[in-house]
């Protein structure tokens, strides 16, 4: 194969939204058998086929078969999350002494950007082709006051697949007023294949010595805890199922599984070292995650309850997948959310997270 036939990207119709507007689906492929589909509605990754150690290809992400189901989704399957990933207590945002009341789509909070966050917007899609790499460039302009956030913000997300089996997600945001952004990707991975039960047998490594305990309302308490000797110690590859039901651990009991912020160690941010790893020994699939973001939420699909019909008429249950949500919300200096996420017209936002697929 010559270099420029190793990767390809195509576009097709993905059906019509309830408002009558058409959506598209783009498929990025490489010569290693990876095939990732993304719709311009919510920047949602709908399908992610990749090979296991025997060369068997499976779709390793949860999703739906049609656009209507994505419009009705409440789990954020596969979507870009913003303007602000996570919860903002009472939806109150304070910027330089001015309070902004955000829309309240959660219990006394705003979750993942409000009723119609970036996950429910129609983005503009452009195809980009380079040697050994294809990209989908998605752009969306969020008007001033959308879901209560100040500032008109131009968002851009670039998804790229290359011939070495790396899938990059790059986020850009520029604003005309001081505001906050915190962007992540909410793909639910099940490396056994999306119909193949729970993720208890998955092994996970997080390059993080500390995590943020949560209170009953799932907000960080402000304490920075060591993972040592806790159920949150993933500094070495650890089977998820080992402690996911360990309700004697207060944090696992509150979250009904895993749903905390882990703070990456210095070497992740300063030296580009491996941030996270997920693998399944039974079929040898492995994903390595690299990022410039200071933290990650490992979320084990605790609130999925079989109420939506997924792809191939499959009904997903709790723990059917896990999300590796790299993000900005907290760093070591600013334990308060929002502070770490401020952007200004002079200081736009950029970040990149890479998912590298291998087998072992």
Query: Which stretches of the chain bind ligand BGC, using CB under 6 A?
Result: 75-76, 218, 259, 297, 299, 303, 325
Which residue(s) pair with 322 in the sheet? 189
Least Å distance between CB 218 and ligand BGC? 5
Q: Is 64:73 a contact under the CB 8 Å cutoff?
A: yes
Least Å distance between CB 299 and ligand BGC? 4
Judge whether 126 counts as a catalytic residue.
no
Q: And the tokens for 206?
A: 């997080």
Q: And the tokens for 314?
A: 């499959």
CB-nearer residue toward ligand BGC: 303 or 350: 303
Distance from the Cα of residue 191 to its chain's centroid: 16
- Integer CA distances (angstroms), 232 to 8, 85, 221, 297, 320, in order: 40, 21, 16, 12, 19
Which residue(s) pair with 47 in the sheet? 37
Q: And the tokens for 172?
A: 């850009």
Euclidean distance between CA atoms 281 and 278, whole angstroms: 10
Residue ranges in 272-355 assigned as alpha helix (H) = none
Euclidean distance between CA atoms 359 and 95, whole angstroms: 46
Least Å distance between CB 76 and ligand BGC? 5
Euclidean distance between CA atoms 88 and 336, whole angstroms: 11
Q: What is the CA radius of gyration of the chain?
A: 19
- Asked whether the bond before 207 is cis by omega within 30 degrees of 0, the reply is no
CB-nearer residue toward ligand BGC: 75 or 155: 75
Least Å distance between CB 87 and ligand BGC? 7
Nearest to 182 by CA among 352, 347, 326, 329: 329
DSSP string, 189-234: B-TT-TTS--STT-EEEE--SEEE-B-TTS-B-S--EE-TTSTT--
CB-nearer residue toward ligand BGC: 46 or 163: 46
Judge whether 186 counts as a catalytic residue.
yes
Neighbour-count burial of 97, counting CB atoms closer than 10 A to its CB (0-12 exposed, 13-18 middle, 19+ buried): exposed
Determine which one of 146, 174, 203, 325 is catalytic.
Answer: 325
Determine which one of 186, 194, 202, 232 is catalytic.
Answer: 186
Tokens 């296991």, residue located: 52
Least Å distance between CB 21 and ligand BGC? 25
Least Å distance between CB 119 and ligand BGC? 10
Least Å distance between CB 221 and ligand BGC? 15
- By annotation, the residues acting in catalysis are 186, 325
């Amino acid at each position: 194969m010559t270099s420029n036939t190793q990767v390809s990207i195509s576009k097709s119709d993905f059906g019509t939204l309830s408002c009558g507007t058409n959506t598209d689906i783009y498929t990025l492929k490489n010569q290693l058998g990876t095939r990732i589909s993304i719709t311009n509605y919510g920047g949602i990754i709908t399908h992610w086929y990749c090979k296991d150690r025997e060369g068997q290809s499976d779709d390793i992400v949860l999703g739906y078969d049609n656009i209507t189901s994505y419009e009705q989704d409440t789990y954020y399957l596969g979507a870009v999350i913003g303007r602000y990933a996570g919860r903002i207590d009472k939806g109150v945002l304070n910027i330089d002494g001015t309070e902004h009341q955000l829309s309240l789509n959660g219990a006394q909070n705003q979750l993942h950007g409000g009723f119609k966050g970036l996950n429910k917007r129609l983005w503009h899609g452009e195809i980009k082709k380079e040697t050994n790499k294809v990209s989908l460039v998605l752009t969306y302009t969020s008007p001033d006051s959308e879901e209560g956030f100040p500032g008109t913000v131009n968002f851009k997300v670039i998804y790229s697949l290359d011939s070495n089996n790396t899938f990059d997600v790059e986020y850009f945001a520029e604003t005309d007023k001081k505001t906050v952004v915190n962007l992540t990707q909410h793909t639910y991975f099940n490396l056994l294949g999306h119909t193949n039960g729970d993720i208890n047998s998955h092994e996970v490594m997080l390059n993080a010595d500390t995590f943020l305990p949560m209170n009953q309302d799932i907000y960080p308490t402000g304490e920075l805890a060591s993972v040592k000797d806790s159920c949150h110690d993933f500094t070495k590859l650890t089977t998820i199922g080992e402690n996911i039901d360990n309700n004697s651990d207060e944090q696992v009991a509150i979250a009904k599984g895993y749903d905390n912020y882990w703070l990456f160690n210095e070497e992740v941010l300063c030296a580009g070292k491996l941030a996270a790893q997920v693998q399944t020994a039974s079929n040898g699939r492995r994903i390595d995650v690299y990022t410039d973001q200071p933290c990650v939420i490992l979320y084990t699909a605790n609130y999925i309850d079989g109420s939506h019909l997924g792809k191939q008429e499959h009904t997903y249950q709790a723990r059917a997948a896990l999300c590796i949500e790299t993000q900005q919300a907290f760093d070591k200096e600013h334990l308060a959310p929002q502070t770490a996420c401020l952007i200004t017209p002079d200081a736009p936002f950029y970040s990149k997270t890479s998912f590298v697929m291998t087998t072992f």
